Each structure stands twice: as C-alpha cells, then as structure tokens.
Amino acid sequence: MFEKTMNWSFAIMALMISVMNGFLGVGLAWLVNLIPQAEFSIWWGMVLAAPILLIAIVQQVVFRKAQKDFDSFFDRK
C-alpha cells in the first residue's frame, strides 16, 4: 500500500515539475516577444532555452536518483 502511495507521489511531483517548466517556457517566450527586433529575438530564444534545458536535465537526474533511493529503501525488508 505504501509503495503505491510513493509511486503516486512521484507521478504527481513529475507532473508538477512539467507544468512548472511549461509556465517557465511560456513566460520566457512572452518576454522574448517583447523584444522588438526579430533577428535578436531568435538569439534571445536560444539563450533563454539553454537554462530551461539544463533545469530539465538536472530535474530528471535528481528524480531518477530519488526513485532509486526509494526503491532500494523498499527492497531492504
């Protein structure tokens, strides 16, 4: 029972992280659109997309490590 609860909490956490990243991306895209020069906005988009990608990669690594820790915790009975 407890293991299923942990899996659901992981799923909810992953969903919340995805939604947060989506809002972050939309907000940054909106900021880039405020920059009037079109040729610069492409570069700004690339500059702003790099941290989002790094954040997503770090989140995946942390998430996988946490899941492994929980799995090993439940294996030690």
Where in the chain are the domains?
2-75
* pLDDT tens, residue by residue, 9-44: 777 777 777 777 777 777 777 776 766 655 666 676
Rounded CA gap, 17 and 63, in Å?
Answer: 10
Residue 29: both structure tokens together: 């895209």
Rounded CA gap, 22 and 33, in Å?
Answer: 17
Rounded CA gap, 32 and 44, in Å?
Answer: 7
pTM of structure: 0.41
Rounded CA gap, 25 and 28, in Å?
Answer: 5
